[in-house]
Amino acid sequence: MDEVGRVSGSINNCPALVLNADFRPLSYFPLSLWSWQETVKAVFLDRVNIVSEYDRVVRSPSIEMRLPSVISLKEYIPTARRPAFTRFNVFLRDRFSCQYCGDAFPTPDLTFDHIVPRSRGGRTVWRNVVTACGCCNLEKGSRLPRESGMYPRTAPYEPSTRQLQENGRAFPPNFLHESWRDFLYWDTELDPV
């Protein structure tokens, strides 16, 4: 397939937002996006419906089509009931903010802290692990909360997939095509301009 005409910007900046068969994004964070090549292939395999399109057109010798900007799967993919216990999901549960000082940090600057330190028998589980910045982690060290006076702002819990998705919605990606907005409802849209 070739692109028709020359439009400014790379065609590779035209990913499609992928919705499940219930029209919710497959995931919010990271946002479920497919490259235009994957998207076109899925259209021809009849696995997706086209919900919205870009202005850009691609063509092969036999067909011409506008690139889809939003697609929905024809077959529903059930989402996992229990999210995986990973560093990233701990950060997402805690909204990328240190549970001691309350400040938000980019992922590389975050660590996780065992409320009851491992050296004191604490386990690496949802209810004993919170997001912490390097400074707070260092300060707390291997002390218990009552010894350090440092308590997490929110008692850690095992989140549901829905809770993680809700948190993910608060972090819009850098690129957001206008045809996606109806399906995402970013919190930031509610801010007065």
Segment holding 162, helix H or strand E: helix 161-169
> Is 72 or 97 the residue whose CB approaches Zn ion more closely?
97
SS3 content of the chain, % helix, strand, coil (to 5): 30, 25, 45
Among 31, 58, 71, 136, binds Zn ion (CB under 5 A): 136
Q: Which C-beta is closer to Zn ion: that of 58 or that of 136?
A: 136
Residue among 113, 105, 154 nearest 136 (CA): 113
Question: Looking at 30-38, 91-99, 111-119, 155-163, which segment touches Zn ion (CB under 5 A)?
Answer: 91-99
- What minimum distance in Å lies between the beta carbon of 100 and Zn ion? 5
The answer to whether 110 contacts Zn ion (rule: CB under 5 A) is: no
Collapsing DSSP to helix, strand or coil, 33 comes out as strand
Closest CB 172 distance from Zn ion, rounded Å: 24
Any contact of residue 100 with Zn ion (CB under 5 A)? Answer: yes
Applying CB under 5 A, the span of 16-24, 99-107, 138-146, 152-160 interacting with Zn ion comes to 99-107
Tell me: does residue 101 bind Zn ion (CB under 5 A): yes
Closest separation in Å from C-beta 46 to Zn ion: 51
In the sheet that 64-73 helps form, which strands lie side by side, from edge to edge? 2-3, 48-59, 64-73, 16-19, 33-34
- Spatial CB neighbours of 86, under 8 Å, sequence gap ≥ 6: none
Residue 133 binds to Zn ion (criterion: CB under 5 A): yes
Cα gap 127→50, rounded to integer Å: 42
Q: How far is the CB of 132 from Zn ion (least distance, A)?
A: 6
65/101 with CB nearer Zn ion: 101
Q: Which stretch binds Zn ion (CB under 5 A): 27-35, 56-64, 72-80, 125-133?
A: 125-133
Q: Which residues contact 100 (CB under 8 A, 6 or more apart)?
A: 113, 132, 133, 136, 139, 140, 150, 152, 153
- Footprint on this chain of Zn ion (rule: CB under 5 A): 98, 100-101, 133, 136
